[in-house]
Structure 1
Amino acid sequence: MAAPPDTPSPALGNLDAYLGYHLRRAHNRSLKRIDQALAKLQLTTAMYGVLELLSCNAELSQGRLAKAVGLTNPSMVPLVDKLAERGLVERCRHEHDRRSVHLKLTPEGRRFWTRAARVVREHENHLRSGLSDSDVAELIRLLGKVGE
């Protein structure tokens, strides 16, 4: 339940000076909007990340893909299962190492990724709307330094 419009915001104490607090709030606002947009395509942000990475790499091992999208290997299995069931990705094994599973986009996956990428670009445009190109570049640079 939302507070009435005339209710003042609570005092934040030290939270207002914490970088993590502001990162979390920005992250939550951003995720809420993109999650709603991607849900219309029956995708999560992690699923989109997999499609995006596979769109610019001929194939990737499941382990490298998990690391690149910030997931664990065990959490990748059900995610890839869902994408494979939809015919968007396929698993490949190499003759020289049958234990290693590699993933690649199917032709349908590439078409679907194109659609999903439009949704994500619209979201990105919304996020960037109050920022200049140099602001965006500086923000990305600074975020890259957080927690180094």
Structure 2
Amino acid sequence: MAGIEMGELGRSLGYLLRIGQLEAFEAFFARFEDQDLRPGEFSVLWVIGLNPGLRQGDLAQALRIKPAHMTKIIRRLEDLGRVARSIPAEDRRSVHLHLTPGGQDFVARHRAVFFGQDAYFTHTLTADEEADLVRLLRKIAGLP
């Protein structure tokens, strides 16, 4: 808001990341409001699609989602008919995940909106600035 002094907060990495996240979520909800999709769910679907049979615990760890919250996400995606869970006979404590045909179709139909040139998040960064930001965020996140 104009006229409110932010001081050093306006240069705080944590604060700026949080504000950036809020901007991204606002754009996400505007673009996906009629798709019954919540932030994080497309990422879950995407990774399951790339790794059929992935263990639920490994998915939670890879996406840094708490196991209890991952269980809720998977249950919701299962209720929507996008994900199927299976429990292998050799390890009854393990839950393996697969996209259903409906889940595969959903991911295919929304891939370009989520990742493509017409992605839901628009900003004023140049392509080079966006690449730099992605590189720096990957570094902060400890990703290769």
Q: Is there any run of 5+ residues in structure 1 with no aligned partner, and where?
A: none
> Is the contact made by 1:93 and 1:100 (CA closer than 8 Å) also made in structure 2?
yes
Which letter does structure 2 place at the counterpart of 1:87? G
1:131 is aligned, of 121, 126, 135, to 126
Residue 15 of structure 2: aligned partner: 21
Q: Is there any run of 5+ residues in structure 2 with no aligned partner, and where?
A: none
3-state SS of paired residue (2:95) = strand
Shift of 1:147: 6.6
Which letter does structure 2 place at the counterpart of 1:65? L
Against the structure 1 CA distance between its residues 33 and 147, is the aligned structure 2 distance closer, same or farther, given a 3 Å change threshold?
Answer: closer
2:80 is aligned, of 76, 86, 107, to 86
- TM-score, normalised to structure 2, is 0.85
| Paired residue total | 140
> Is the contact made by 2:74 and 2:83 (CA closer than 8 Å) also made in structure 1?
yes
Which letter does structure 2 place at the counterpart of 1:69? L
- TM-score, normalised to structure 1, is 0.83
Give RMSD over aligned pairs: 2.0
Taking the aligned partners of 1:82 and 1:49, their CA distance within structure 2 comes to 14
Against the structure 1 CA distance between its residues 135 and 112, is the aligned structure 2 distance closer, same or farther, given a 3 Å change threshold?
Answer: same
1:51-70 matches, cutoff 5 A? 51-70=45-64
Quote the sequence identity (%): 30
Which letter does structure 1 place at the counterpart of 2:125? G
Query: Which has a greater percent of strand?
Result: 1
